[in-house]
Structure 1
């Protein structure tokens, strides 16, 4: 079973859609059969509506599922209503980013490209604070909550069950000064340590790299259950885009493969990081 409320809600939506499609019925037909609107059924299947256990009961009886599957889906509905640990920080985590963290908690693999700032899961507290205080309109208390959430998220990389994580970072992320040179020196020292964690692979895409896909930053999240398809995540200043279609995932996977092929090897990337760190120490 999925491990976060967001992932549970997503899994439930997929299962309800799968059951309806297997029945050969449309959303409108299902709605008419259980005295709902077709739009309510659609919202349940797209994750935009809260699904109650009683709703699941009605749908499963209509679809004539097994008792075991019905109880499993009702359990998902109950647990999807709980709050994740990160949500107790309130406005320190924007609503649109709550969705990403929920998916991140369940992911078994990450493929991330960063072209402007270093990966969030590898940032130091000082680097994070500079980003939040200088680059957003958050209140100081909310910014500190955001820092705590990001630091807690980073713990997943060091655990025994850490997800398989592969980062490609542009050389610009190493040279863009966030804060001051002291902040950057400490940040790159930390980066070199995290890059050597067993579950982490880090490559640097140098300025003089050969031809590679031109794209902004993105993350591909993979999940342990085959029933949960990969998700491509792209964030903005005030919102985010989630792409789940097979063609989207395929194209971004192809782009990531091109980026890591053009990037330095992990060993040479570490050497570049250490070299630039010395420049900040001067």
Structure 2
């Protein structure tokens, strides 16, 4: 084991993005441009190709041979322990069966990237505007929310959601989860028997009782209210003294929100938290809502 093991992501996606952040940090610390960096690895490579290779590495979109990566990091003045960490993070061929079984329902690059980062996240922040987010949905609610789809596909997608529950909520070191849910989530009942919403309310109350999960309700009178779904996933930076890495999505299956808009997403999240009921009052709301139905 190395001194960095605690920071290393579980999934290939998480490790690739950690490597990207590490390489960007080391290059900036060394005061080199991407073109300077490319020339240290492959002096004979054209400037455009070389710079693009470094840019893709720093975006998490491309890999690099281990020998080239070591040469690059030595040019950055990286310590041996940091080089060891980078080699641990370097992308390798993923197992072919990683997306088999229930996870086969996630069949696009964007949805798989989301699911991987959800599994790696140290914290997950959720805004729910009309429906309970998948991660907080009980089985009957998740199944009901997929009404209108063929039965076999509906079952497969529900099983995929439950698989995410196992990998995220039940892992040895579960993430901190913060959710702000619009009151609309509880009035917009998915198709199915009335017991579906009752089971979901009980499930959400039980989750909110766990020490790592906080639930707040944004009532209809809250300003600003929750207008759309948003997920903020925070991944530990491989350099422990630096800020964590944050990635944002609107809905699973969509492309991730551009990094340039993360700051705006953070402001949106902070405003929603301030406007919502406090956690204790939110639990009281859930109990009273169930009793009044």
- Report if TM-score (shorter chain) is over 0.5: yes
Q: How far apart in 2 are the matches of 1:279 and 1:83?
A: 50
Q: How far apart in 2 are the matches of 1:32 and 1:164?
A: 42
**2:210 aligns with one of 166, 172, 197:** 197
Does the Cα contact within 8 Å between 2:111 and 2:252 map onto a contact in 1? no
Alignment TM-score, normalising by the size of structure 1 = 0.83
The Cα of 1:92 is off from its aligned counterpart by: 0.6
Gapped regions of structure 2 (runs ≥ 5): 1-7
Does the Cα contact within 8 Å between 2:110 and 2:256 map onto a contact in 1? no
What SS does structure 2 have at the residue aligned with 1:75? helix
Q: Report the CA distance shift for 1:193/1:131 in structure 2 as closer, same or farther (over 3 A).
A: same
What SS does structure 1 have at the residue aligned with 2:90? helix
Gapped regions of structure 1 (runs ≥ 5): none
Residue aligning to 1:262:
275
**2:254 aligns with one of 239, 243, 246:** 239
Residue correspondence of structure 1 range 108-123 to structure 2 within 5 A: 108-123=122-137
Does the Cα contact within 8 Å between 1:230 and 1:249 map onto a contact in 2? no
Task: List per-residue Cα deviations over 1:234-277 (Å, max 9, x = no partner).
Answer: 234752223445xx444333322221222122233223223333
**1:206 aligns with one of 191, 194, 219:** 219
Aligned length: 273
Residue aligning to 1:162:
174
What SS does structure 2 have at the residue aligned with 1:242? coil
Q: Superposition RMSD on alpha carbons, in Å? A: 2.8
Residue aligning to 1:176:
188
Q: Report the CA distance shift for 1:159/1:42 in structure 2 as closer, same or farther (over 3 A).
A: closer
The Cα of 1:173 is off from its aligned counterpart by: 0.4
The Cα of 1:143 is off from its aligned counterpart by: 4.3
**1:153 aligns with one of 158, 164, 171:** 164
Residue aligning to 1:130:
144
Residue aligning to 1:9:
16
Task: List per-residue Cα deviations over 1:127-186 (Å, max 9, x = no partner).
Answer: 21233353x6xx655543432232132243356632222111000001101122232222
Q: Does 1:252 align with 2:252?
A: no
Greater than 4 Å deviation, 4+ residue runs: 83-86, 139-143
What SS does structure 1 have at the residue aligned with 2:232? strand
Task: List per-residue Cα deviations over 1:198-242 (Å, max 9, x = no partner).
Answer: 211111111122x22664221222334444634242234752223
Does the Cα contact within 8 Å between 1:229 and 1:244 map onto a contact in 2? no
Q: Does 1:144 align with 2:159?
A: no
Alignment TM-score, normalising by the size of structure 2 = 0.80
The Cα of 1:12 is off from its aligned counterpart by: 0.6
Q: How far apart in 1 are the matches of 2:98 and 2:142?
A: 16
What SS does structure 2 have at the residue aligned with 1:58? helix
- After superposing the two structures, state which structure 1 stretch, 173-182 or 146-155, moved more: 146-155
Residue aligning to 1:31:
38
